[in-house]
A and B are shown apart, each in its own frame.
Chain A
Amino acid sequence: MPLLTTQTGRFRDSYVADSRINDTGSKKTVVLGGLILLFLVVPMVADDYQLGVLNLIGIAAVGALGLNILVGFTGQISLGHAAFAAVGAYTAANLSLRLGLPALIAIPAAGLMAGAVSLLFGVAALRVKGLYLAIATLAAQYSIEWVLNHWSFATGGYQATLLMPPFAIGPWDSATTVGKYFLIMGILALGVLYAENLFRSRTGRALVAVRDQYLAAEGVGINVFHYKLRAFFISSVYAGIAGALYGYNVGIVTTEFFPLVLSIQFLAMIIIGGLGSIPGSILGAAFVTLIPIVLRDGLPTIGISFSSDIEVYLVQVLFGLTILLFLVLESGGLYRLFNNVRDYFRMWPFSY
């Protein structure tokens, strides 16, 4: 087997070969190398600060991937993603604090609870399209926030915080940064695998059909409303899991973690990363997470620093600017950009 060969065309001799996710030898090598890097090399060489940053990126990537399934792949907008993350975070917090359930049960349960709550809103919201849907999901964001602020049994009341207990399985302790790193990256890897599989099978294809041409989707027997609900459900499961992970990562949960701005940041991640692209979701999550960190911690190390009041606005300005630039110049996002650069070098010195 050639390790790093350049693809010259598609020469598969079976449908199995044609349906593989890692469809070329070099892609397989890259993915395998990436996994080794992610799970073996990085945890050994990175310090706690760097792992902490990666953890934040990983959590954001889980959430962004979920939103991309809804917005990028199915074409339905949502401004309530952060609220579903909040539902997940509080579910996990309650399950582990009150029932003492381990995280490996609490986290999936958090996802399912967020999914279930999203269906409640989705049944109403997904009957409308476009801008109306955006506003309907905004209603979800605000009503969930209100409930969480006032339902003191589940959340401790307005702006209260809950402590998330750490857990350990054998030598692996979730209290350490590296322990969290494995948890987060493991879940992210599973999330990516699930999405990859979904979009090479019936359900994922139907979701994309709903986005591209919903009348024709009905015409081949797809119940468009049901599939929109499914997309909303999966997307919120990802959000709920991301919310629970965030709770474990920080150690506390408060409603302040999940404002409307976070929903918009999730949208920014997938627009910058690439709508309808799984790797794009991760790139976008990394980009958006890194902007404030680089401004705060990165630039001072090379001798540029801002006063803290300017820095806050600078983050927002950069944020807006990058979204604008991507929308105007490269609507395919970072992933398309990456592909273009890769293709340029693959073809070099020829133009195509």
Chain B
Amino acid sequence: MPLALDVSDLELRFGGLTALSGVSLQVQQGHIASLIGPNGAGKTSLVNCVTGYYRPTSGRISCYGTDVTGSSPHKAVAAGMARTYQNIELFKGMSVLDNLLLGRHRHLRSGLISGGLYYGRARREELAARAAVEHLIDFLEIAHVRRTPVGLLPYGLQKRVELGRALAVEPRLLLLDEPMAGMNLEEKQDMARFILETREERGVTVLLIEHDMGVVMDISDHVVALEFGRVIGAGTAEQVAQDPRVIAAYLGGQRAEGDGETGASLVGAPQGAPS
């Protein structure tokens, strides 16, 4: 069984700046893997490499056994990926419906001629896509805003629509770039539930970038920590949370200098509480 995502020895340089160096990570099929690390660690750069937005300087990336190194974003989608963005990149002038329908793009076939005739298969597939999208709308509980231009929606709902658009792609690997940033506790819980249900019901593998350690500890099967473009720790949530290098990266170098018994913990607060 191939890995859902296999990144090996990835390096990304922008001129003299090394954003990623020697990064390797493996995500098992059906897992929820989290990518953590301080700001500027290279988490989003890594996701951008995987989804074809950045072309890595060297290294290999494969998704479900398909080599996607240095491909373009639409080819990454064809390989079975879908993603959300740190700073919501929705089609702001379009309704929620149209945004989700665009997610269905690769499942539809009509082109310049059949689309212009809107007859037969083109018409049937449009209606089928609409039905599929309505299921997602139900799942994400956004039925009341389906006609609203997404630019007018509150932030939390926009994040949810963006998740919906990624799910409409029907990916095998879903990459979520800080889906809970800036949300309140309730919204975070909703989002965590959507992510878990997505994994359970659709068997989608998830790679999650998230800063809320409570959420990461709760829902991740596997955690990878980055700092300054390098992997500084990987394993289960508990292992990573105990890792002195990870603690040092988050809490500063001196406290974790000796060993892991300084009492420092990444999850001091009760899990799920607002931090």
Contact B130 A209 (CB under 8 A): no
Q: How far is the CA of A222 from the CA of B103 in the complex (A)?
A: 9
Contact B110 A203 (CB under 8 A): yes
Q: A205-B101, A220-B102 are in contact. Are A197 and B130 (CB under 8 A)?
A: no
Q: Which B residues between 133 and 156 are near A, CB-CB below 8 angstroms?
A: 134, 147
Contact B115 A198 (CB under 8 A): yes
Q: In angstroms, how far is the closest chain A Cβ from the Cβ of B78?
A: 6
Contact B111 A203 (CB under 8 A): yes
- The 8 Å CB contact of B130, one of A15, A216, A218, A223, is A15
Q: Is A221 an interface residue, CB under 8 A from the partner?
A: yes
| Residues of B contacting A16 in the complex (Cβ-Cβ under 8 angstroms) | 127
Q: Which stretch (B27-35, B92-100, B183-191, B214-222) binds chain A? A: B92-100
- The 8 Å CB contact of A201, one of B51, B73, B94, B122, is B122
Contact B110 A201 (CB under 8 A): yes
Q: In angstroms, how far is the closest chain B Cβ from the Cβ of A232?
A: 12
Return the chain B residue nearest A204 by Cβ: B115
- The 8 Å CB contact of A222, one of B74, B101, B116, B122, is B74
Q: In angstroms, how far is the closest chain B Cβ from the Cβ of A73?
A: 12
The dominant DSSP class at the A interface is: helix
Q: A19-B130, A206-B102 are in contact. Are A201 and B74 (CB under 8 A)?
A: no
| Residues of B contacting A15 in the complex (Cβ-Cβ under 8 angstroms) | 127, 130-131, 134
Q: Give A contacts to B, CB under 8 Å.
A: 10, 15-16, 18-19, 194-195, 197-198, 200-206, 208-209, 212-213, 215-224, 230, 233-234
| Residues of B contacting A234 in the complex (Cβ-Cβ under 8 angstroms) | 112
Q: Which stretch (B4-12, B57-65, B83-91, B249-257) binds chain A? A: B83-91
Q: Is B172 an interface residue, CB under 8 A from the partner?
A: no
Contact A216 B89 (CB under 8 A): yes
Q: Is B117 an interface residue, CB under 8 A from the partner?
A: yes
Return the chain B residue nearest A276 by Cβ: B93
Contact B127 A219 (CB under 8 A): no
Q: A197-B115, A203-B115, A224-B74 are in contact. Are A209 and B122 (CB under 8 A)?
A: no
Q: Is B269 an interface residue, CB under 8 A from the partner?
A: no
Contact A220 B110 (CB under 8 A): no
- The 8 Å CB contact of B91, one of A195, A212, A224, is A212
* Most chain B CB neighbours (cut-off 10 Å) among A204, A212, A215, A234: A212
Q: Is B202 an interface residue, CB under 8 A from the partner?
A: no
Q: How many residues of B contact A (CB 8 A)?
A: 44
The dominant DSSP class at the B interface is: helix
Q: How far is the CA of A319 from the CA of B237 in the complex (A)?
A: 67
Q: In angstroms, how far is the closest chain A Cβ from the Cβ of B167?
A: 11
> Lowest 8 A-B CB distances belong to which pairs?
A221-B77, A218-B73, A197-B118, A201-B115, A221-B106, A216-B89, A212-B91, A202-B108
Contact B73 A212 (CB under 8 A): no
Q: A212-B92, A216-B85, A216-B89 are in contact. Are A230 and B102 (CB under 8 A)?
A: no
| Residues of A contacting B52 in the complex (Cβ-Cβ under 8 angstroms) | 218
Return the chain B residue nearest A195 by Cβ: B116
| Residues of A contacting B241 in the complex (Cβ-Cβ under 8 angstroms) | none
| Residues of A contacting B83 in the complex (Cβ-Cβ under 8 angstroms) | 219
Return the chain B residue nearest A212 by Cβ: B91
| Residues of B contacting A195 in the complex (Cβ-Cβ under 8 angstroms) | 116
Q: How far is the CA of A195 from the CA of B72 in the complex (A)?
A: 29
Q: In angstroms, how far is the closest chain A Cβ from the Cβ of B87?
A: 11
Q: How far is the CA of A203 from the CA of B113 in the complex (A)?
A: 10
Contact B90 A216 (CB under 8 A): yes
| Residues of B contacting A217 in the complex (Cβ-Cβ under 8 angstroms) | 91, 102
Q: In angstroms, how far is the closest chain B Cβ from the Cβ of A195?
A: 8
Q: Is B53 an interface residue, CB under 8 A from the partner?
A: yes
Contact B169 A220 (CB under 8 A): yes
| Residues of B contacting A198 in the complex (Cβ-Cβ under 8 angstroms) | 112, 115-116
List 8 extra interface pairs beyond A18-B130, A205-B105, CB under 8 A. A19-B126, A201-B116, A203-B115, A203-B116, A212-B93, A215-B53, A218-B53, A220-B169
Q: List 29 A-B contacts (CB under 8 A).
A: A15-B131, A15-B134, A19-B127, A197-B115, A201-B110, A201-B114, A201-B118, A201-B126, A205-B102, A208-B94, A209-B102, A213-B91, A213-B92, A215-B89, A217-B91, A218-B73, A218-B74, A218-B77, A219-B83, A220-B82, A220-B106, A220-B165, A220-B168, A221-B78, A221-B169, A222-B102, A223-B74, A230-B112, A233-B112
Contact B103 A220 (CB under 8 A): yes
Q: How far is the CA of A223 from the CA of B106 in the complex (A)?
A: 10
Q: How far is the CA of A213 from the CA of B131 in the complex (A)?
A: 25
